[in-house]
Chains A and B, each alone.
Chain A
C-alpha cells in the first residue's frame, strides 16, 4: 500500500462518518402535520361528500351540457345508491321521452370525477361516430362523459369534462319540475317548437321602441340569434348563442342584449302555442312570412367595388332555403342540382358564391361541386362565370356576362336558368335579416317572384 492510497482511504472514512452524522441530524422531526388525515382519507371524504350530494337530490337534477363545439343540451339525472342513474335529454325527441337507466360512479382522479361508465344519452354528443351527432368523425361534438367537480354553490354543482372540457352544470330540480320532465314535457316542447318553426318563415321580436328584430332558431344546432342595426345606424349585429330546453321553454347560454333590452330565455305559452320573451306574460314573438330587409344608413350597393363582398349560398339551400329566397329560385336551384347530379359527371352541388372583388367592376358567380373518385374519395371543383355590372339609380344592378372558365363552359347548359336571369333582369341589392348571418339579397325587378341571397361573412 503506498502513501497516496492510505491517504485516500482515510479521507474516505472521514467522509463516510461525516455523511452518517449529516443523515442523523438532517431530519426535522418537530413539524406539525397540516392535515389530520392521510391524503387517502381526505380523498375518500370528498367522494363521500359528493356521493351524498348527488344522491341526495330528492327530485333529481336538471343539467345543462355545453360541448366543445358549442352545442347545448338539457339533461335530467336521478342518481341512486346502486350505481344507477335515470336520465332524459333534449338531444332528440326520442331521448326526451324515453327515460334511460345507466351506470355512474364517482372516481378519485385529479379531482372527484363523475363518470357515466356505460353508453347512455350523455355519450351521444361525445360519440366519435359523426353520424350519431352530426359531428366530425373521430371526435364527434367534443363532449365528455367524465366530469371533474369544480365547485358547488347553493343548489348547483359545476363540473368540467376531463377530455374535451365540456361544461356540465347540475341544478337540483323541484318536485314540480321532476314530474313535468318525467311526463315528457321536454319531448312535447321539442315537438311544439319544430311545428312552431315550420309554421312561419320567420319570427320577430318587437322591442319597447317598436323596432322589429328578426330571430333565427335552430333545433338541430341548438343555436339562437337576433339581428339588429347597432345604435350607430350602420352596422348590422347578429349575436348568437347556444341554448338548452327547460320545462318552461328555451334557456339561452349567454343572454343577448339588444340596445339595452336583454333576452335570457324564451318561455313557451301552451295556450297561444308561441314563445314570449323572458317570462310567460312577456313580449310574444310574432310570426311573419315576409322577407325582413335591413336599411342601414350605408346601403349594401354603396359598398360595391370598394370592399370585397362575398355572398355564399351553402350546400342544401334547396332543402333549407335562406332568408330572402323565393320559391321560384328554390325550385330552379333544386332542378339544377338534380340535373348535374344525374348528368355524365355525377356532380354534387356544394356552395354557390357571388363575389364582388373591389376595384374591378366585376361580379363572379362561382359554383363549387364535388365529383366522386376512386375508392369513395371525392374531388372538389369549381366553375366561374364572370360578369361586369352597371350600378343604376336607386342601387339597381344590371349584369353582363364577360366570360366563363372551362368548367363553367361545360356546365353552361345546366345553369342556364340562373344565368339567363343575370343576363335579362336587373336586381336590387339589399341586406336581408332572419338568418344566423346577414344575407345579401338579390331581388329581380322584372320578375317579382325571383329573388335569392347568400350569407355575408360574420362580423
Chain B
C-alpha cells in the first residue's frame, strides 16, 4: 500500500514540476547570448595591453588590471586609477625581481602553478581612517593590489624594495598555502608572537629573534617576512642586519629560522634559496643600484646646516645601533626619568636654529598617562667653528623643561655629551651600509654618535 502510494507520488511530483512555471521572458532567451551587457574589450589592444598579455597573461595566466573597476577595490575609500605611463615601469620591476629569478631557478611551470592570478593597480595610496595609508595588500593568494603606482619611481631603490617586499611577502603566503612550512618553525620562538606587534620596534624585534616587527604577528607572517627580507635585502644586507642588530641569542634564533626557510625551498620546491637571493639582488641592483658611499657624497657642511637642505639630525635608539658610550648616556637619562615617573622617548634630535646655534630636543612623557602626551626639553649650544673644520659647542641655554630635567632631576648625560666639547661632524657608514651623520668628540672620537639627516 505504502509502496504504491510512493510510486504514485514519485511520478506525480516531476509531472507537477514540469507543469509548473513558464516564463515568457526566459522562454525567449538565447542562451548563447546571455551575460553580454558589456563595453569591455570592444577596443583593440594598446601597446601596453599587448605587452602585459605577452609578459604576464599568456606565459603565466596572470591578469594585470589597470583600467578602473570600482568593485575590485574598496568601495568606501577614495582611490584613483593609475596613469597608463606608470603601469609598464611597475610591472617591469615585478617581472624582473619576482618572476624572472623564480623562472630561472625553478622553470616557468613553477610560477604558472603558484602565482597570484591577478595584479590590480591603483594610482593613489589607500588612506586609512587613522591617518596612515596602505601601500599594498593581497587577498587570499589570488589578487595582489599595488597602490601608489602614480608616484612610483623605478630609480628609487627604497621604492623598488618596498614594492617588491610586498610582492615577495604575498607570494610567500601562497607557497605556504600549497606546501606548508616545517612545523618546527613554530617552535623557534614560541610564545613570543603577539597581536601587539606594532608596539615593538624593529630593533626590539631583532633582539627577540624576529627579522621585522610584523614578523611577531604570527608564525605565518614570521615565515614570509623571513623570505621577503632575505630576498629583498640580499645576502649582504641581511648579514649586515644580523651582524649589527642582533644579540647572541637572537642571532642563533634567526639562523635557525633561516635554515628552515632554506630547507623548505629545497625540499618542497627543489630551489636553492641562496641562489634565488643572489638573482633577486642582481635584479634589484640592475634596476636601482645602491646609493653612493660617504666618499662620493658632498661635504657634510654643504648638506647639513642653517637654511641648508637639511637642518636636523634625528637619533632613533630603536633603529640605530649607536656606539655603547652614547647608548649608555641615553639609558642613564632614561633610568633617572623613570625613577621620577617619566620616560624618555627613543627619538630625539639635534637641529640648527641659526648659523651659530644648535639645539638638542628631547621628548619625554608621564608614565602614568596612558595617552603618552609628550613634552619637550630643549638644550641650546653656541657654535664656534675652527679653521681645521672642528666646531666648539658651548652650552648656552635650557628651556623650562630642559632646566627642570637637568637641574631638578639630574637628567643630563645626553646634554653633557654635547655641552662644552669640540666636535668634528662627518659622514659615517654603518656596517649595514647606510650612511648617517657622525658626531665625533675631539677628546674621544671612538665614542661618537650618529643620526639620520632630515629636513
Contacts and interface: CB of A to CB of B under 8 A. Distances in A.
Interface of A: 9, 13, 16-17, 20-21, 23-24, 27, 29, 31-33, 38, 40, 43-44, 47, 51, 81-83, 102-103, 105-108, 115-119, 123, 126-129, 137-140, 142, 145-146, 162-164, 342, 344, 346, 373-375
B300 interface: no
A139 B80 contact: no
B376 interface: yes
- Residue from B12, B43, B80 with most neighbouring chain A CB atoms (10 Å): B80
B68 A116 contact: yes
A286 to B, nearest CB: 43
A17 B16 CA distance: 10
A359 B268 CA distance: 83
B12 A123 contact: no
B43 A126 contact: no
B13 A33 contact: no
Nearest to B13: A20
A33 B25 CA distance: 7
A119 B123 contact: yes
A123 B81 contact: yes
Interface in B37-85: 37-40, 42-44, 66-68, 70, 75, 77-84
A409 to B, nearest CB: 13
Q: Which 10 A-B residue pairs are closest in the complex by CB-CB distance?
A: A138-B127, A83-B43, A117-B67, A119-B83, A128-B78, A117-B68, A374-B374, A43-B37, A123-B80, A27-B21
7 contacts: A33-B25, A51-B39, A117-B67, A119-B80, A128-B127, A140-B78, A374-B376
Nearest to B30: A38
Contacts of B380: 344
Contacts of A40: 33-37
B239 interface: no
A385 to B, nearest CB: 21
B334 to A, nearest CB: 16
Contacts of B81: 116-119, 123, 145
A105 B39 contact: yes
Nearest to A19: B16
B89 to A, nearest CB: 14
A103 B125 CA distance: 21
Contacts, number: 130
A38 B2 CA distance: 47
Contacts of A137: 127, 131
Contacts of A375: 347
B235 to A, nearest CB: 33
Nearest to B67: A117
Given A29-B22, A82-B44, A117-B81, A129 B124 contact: yes
Given A17-B12, A33-B24, A146-B68, 18 more contacts: A21-B16, A32-B24, A43-B37, A105-B39, A105-B67, A108-B37, A108-B38, A116-B68, A119-B82, A123-B81, A126-B78, A127-B124, A128-B78, A128-B79, A138-B77, A138-B127, A140-B78, A145-B68
Interface in B225-265: none
B106 interface: no
B82 A118 contact: yes
Contact of B77 (A102, A117, A128, A344): A128
B153 interface: no
- Residue from B2, B40, B68 with most neighbouring chain A CB atoms (10 Å): B68
B429 interface: no
B146 to A, nearest CB: 14
A162 B17 contact: no
Contacts of B28: 38
B363 interface: yes
B7 to A, nearest CB: 12
B36 A44 contact: yes
- Residue from A81, A115, A119, A163 with most neighbouring chain B CB atoms (10 Å): A119
B16 A20 contact: yes
Contacts of B21: 27, 29
B16 A128 contact: no
Interface of B is mostly: loop
B354 A119 contact: no
A24 B124 contact: no
Contacts of A145: 68, 80-81
Given A47-B39, A129-B124, A139 B22 contact: no
Nearest to A346: B353
Interface string B127-142: 1000100000000000
Contacts of A32: 24
B354 to A, nearest CB: 7
Contacts of B309: none
Contacts of A33: 24-25
A106 B16 CA distance: 44
A96 to B, nearest CB: 19
Contacts of A83: 42-43
B179 to A, nearest CB: 38
Contact of A23 (B17, B38, B70): B17
Nearest to A10: B5
B36 A103 contact: no
Given A40-B36, A108-B38, A119-B83, A139 B25 contact: no
B195 to A, nearest CB: 23
Contact of A138 (B33, B38, B78): B78
A150 B42 CA distance: 24
A115 B13 contact: no
Contact of A16 (B2, B9, B42, B399): B9
Given A23-B20, A38-B25, A108-B37, A102 B84 contact: yes
A51 B67 CA distance: 18
A127 B78 CA distance: 8
Contacts of A162: 70
Contacts of A129: 124-125
A272 B427 CA distance: 61
B399 A344 contact: yes
Contacts of B124: 127-129
Contacts of A82: 43-44
B133 to A, nearest CB: 8
Contacts of B29: 38
Contacts of A115: 68
A163 B78 contact: yes
B174 interface: no
B217 interface: no
Contact of A139 (B9, B78, B378): B78
B150 interface: yes
B70 A119 contact: no
Contacts of A116: 68, 81
Contacts of B22: 27, 29
A344 B20 CA distance: 87
Contacts of B75: 163
Given A44-B37, A128-B79, A27 B24 contact: no
B92 interface: no
B13 to A, nearest CB: 6
A20 B397 CA distance: 97
Given A129-B125, A374-B363, A374-B374, A118 B67 contact: yes
B282 interface: no
Interface string B185-208: 000000000000000000000000
A15 B129 CA distance: 58
- Residue from B39, B359, B363 with most neighbouring chain A CB atoms (10 Å): B39
B221 interface: no
Contacts of B374: 373-374
B345 interface: yes
A146 B70 contact: yes
A118 B68 contact: yes
Contacts of B77: 128, 138
Contacts of A81: 43
B125 to A, nearest CB: 7
Nearest to A127: B80
Contacts of B354: 342
